[in-house]
Structure 1
């Protein structure tokens, strides 16, 4: 299996750093071939021959992809570059560098979620994906036992993930999920008191019904109200954390 293009055009070499050109070529190859997570890329010697570059340049290209979470580099016999694909966690981790350098706080991160997740809910209602039509989103909104903290936390998180994925917009989905991942990395397990969890589940079920019936404006409104209530609770419980600058992960 060779990676196209086999040789780098001389004019391209002058415009861009060679390792970056190779990295982009590998990404195009993975995408065009539909290579799934866990697929091994060609051996180093083969890629050096394909691209006509030195070992150092190829390894720099692979390192670029590894840092961005697109591949993993496994050492030893049977190792080498392996496709990881795209994950919101990788995008979020990369974004935290910009957040830290820009002095972005967790309060700003939560405020961004307040804007974006209601939009995701509206898009989910408008796009009417197969998952929404089949009622699986409504199933994700249901929690059998709100007193079981593990079950409650798992299902509430799953519901938001399901709404985000149902938005049908790759950019909105990626941004929403990555922001949620960055937030949860710092603020884990913030739970409403048991006597308030029923209201949260009811809010999720109402959002799911609005999405299921294709009522985008209502889905957006309900999600915004729900997110605002959660944000107010978090700000009250963790005011110090909200003013912290997001750190590069």
Structure 2
């Protein structure tokens, strides 16, 4: 879908790009504001280079640098072909997590510190989800746990990952959801092989079910306690079985 940014009759005059040493950054910010204001969907192809140069009153070099900034941040991709150009792509918590790994890596953040952060955030998210007191949450959480996956490493990993993702997305606060989900993505993307052994997986499923019930019944303190206990057991398992990992620095992905 190709679109144009021609002004609507009732639209207020658009701000012009600030002049200075950071024209490209200012332009990238203005393009994002336009995308948000128009509620553009992934798959939308932005206006042509000529149209955007005319619209914003900038040079070709500044425009291309601005688009490169958006591409690096995972907001657009360059679609080839006659009707190609900068196309919006879907961004989410995994993209935010991938971007944040650069700062974690530069700051020397370790996997042990990443686990500690999850130990603080995920029990809190379980509490907040329970405080919403929505019975439909139990089914949403229960759907993530299928006992038939216990013997399949990949399926078991996906199921447990999905359960934690669902809890982390239930606070109703987009900032808390974004931060918690991104940490969960980072951890599982980089240590996906650290699973409980088969003989302990029934315990994991039982813990998930108990957390789901507490959330669905609105028992906030219980949901928080159960999630903290569950997360602590996993952290202890990792520290015991893979002690070398605790002090490893998170990689930039």
Helix, strand or coil at the partner of 2:87: strand
Structure 1 residue ranges without an equivalent (≥5): none
* TM-score, L = length of structure 2: 0.89
1:144, distance to aligned residue in structure 2 (A) = 2.8
1:164 corresponds to 2:172 = no
The structure that is helix-richer by fraction is 1
CA-based RMSD: 2.0
Helix, strand or coil at the partner of 1:166: coil
Structure 2 residue ranges without an equivalent (≥5): 8-12
- 2:10 is matched with which residue? none
Give the Cα–Cα distance (whole angstroms) in 1 for the partners of residues 239 and 176 of structure 2.
25
Matches within 5 A, 1:150-189: 150-189=154-193
- 1:228 is matched with which residue? 232
1:219–1:142 Cα change, 3 Å: farther
Give the Cα–Cα distance (whole angstroms) in 2 for the partners of residues 105 and 243 of structure 1.
5
1:201 corresponds to 2:201 = no
1:130, distance to aligned residue in structure 2 (A) = 8.1
1:2 corresponds to 2:5 = yes
1:173, distance to aligned residue in structure 2 (A) = 1.2
Is 1:121–1:223's contact at 8 Å kept on the other side of the alignment?
yes
Which residue of 76, 82, 90 corresponds with 2:87? 82
Give the Cα–Cα distance (whole angstroms) in 1 for the partners of residues 123 and 84 of structure 2.
43
Give the Cα–Cα distance (whole angstroms) in 2 for the partners of residues 200 and 7 of structure 1.
54
Tell me the alpha carbon deviations over residues 110-156 of structure 1, each in whole angstroms, 9 at most, x when there is no partner.
111111111111111123468517x2222223433422223221111
* TM-score, L = length of structure 1: 0.91
Give the Cα–Cα distance (whole angstroms) in 1 for the partners of residues 190 and 27 of structure 2.
35
1:166–1:25 Cα change, 3 Å: same
When the two structures are aligned, how many residues end up with a matched partner? 245
1:194, distance to aligned residue in structure 2 (A) = 1.2
Is 1:131–1:166's contact at 8 Å kept on the other side of the alignment?
no
Which of 159-168 and 76-85 deviates more? 76-85
Give the Cα–Cα distance (whole angstroms) in 2 for the partners of residues 167 and 141 of structure 1.
20
Is 2:157–2:192's contact at 8 Å kept on the other side of the alignment?
no
Helix, strand or coil at the partner of 2:147: coil
Which residue of 50, 54, 63 corresponds with 1:58? 63
Give the Cα–Cα distance (whole angstroms) in 1 for the partners of residues 92 and 121 of structure 2.
18
Give the Cα–Cα distance (whole angstroms) in 1 for the partners of residues 6 and 229 of structure 2.
49
1:56, distance to aligned residue in structure 2 (A) = 0.8
1:6, distance to aligned residue in structure 2 (A) = 4.9
1:13, distance to aligned residue in structure 2 (A) = 2.5
1:72 corresponds to 2:49 = no
- 1:212 is matched with which residue? 216
1:175, distance to aligned residue in structure 2 (A) = 1.0
Is 2:161–2:188's contact at 8 Å kept on the other side of the alignment?
no
Helix, strand or coil at the partner of 1:103: coil
1:153–1:247 Cα change, 3 Å: closer
Give the Cα–Cα distance (whole angstroms) in 2 for the partners of residues 49 and 119 of structure 1.
49
Give the Cα–Cα distance (whole angstroms) in 2 for the partners of residues 145 and 178 of structure 1.
25
1:7, distance to aligned residue in structure 2 (A) = 5.6
Give the Cα–Cα distance (whole angstroms) in 1 for the partners of residues 189 and 149 of structure 2.
25
1:42 corresponds to 2:43 = no
1:3–1:113 Cα change, 3 Å: farther
